Amino acid sequence: MHQRTRIKICGLTREADVDAAVEAGADAIGLVFYARSPRHVTLERAVALAQRLPSFVTPVGLFVNADPAEVRAACEAVPHLLLQFHGDEEVEHCKAAGRPYLRAARMAPGFDLLHFAGQYATAQALLLDAHVEGYGGGGKAFDWSLIPPNVPRPVVLSGGLTPANVTDGVLQVRPWAVDVSSGVESAKGIKDPLAIRRFCEAVREADARIASAGS
* Per-residue pLDDT tens digits for 171-214: 999 999 999 999 999 998 899 999 999 999 999 999 999 999 87
Alpha-carbon distance 59 to 199, whole Å?
19
75 catalytic residue (yes or no): no
Closest CA to 181 of 135, 117, 122, 113: 135
* Fold entry, domain 6-212: TIM Barrel (3.20.20)
27 catalytic residue (yes or no): no
Mean pLDDT of the chain: 93
Residue 138's pLDDT band (boundaries 50, 70, 90)?
Answer: low
Query: Taking the complete model, does pTM exceed 0.85, yes or no?
Result: yes
Catalytic residue among 10, 17, 27, 179: 10
64 contacts 89 by C-beta, under 8 angstroms: no
Q: Is the predicted pLDDT of residue 28 greater than 80, yes or no?
A: yes
Q: Is the predicted pLDDT of residue 136 greater than 90, yes or no?
A: no
Catalytic residue among 17, 129, 179, 200: 129
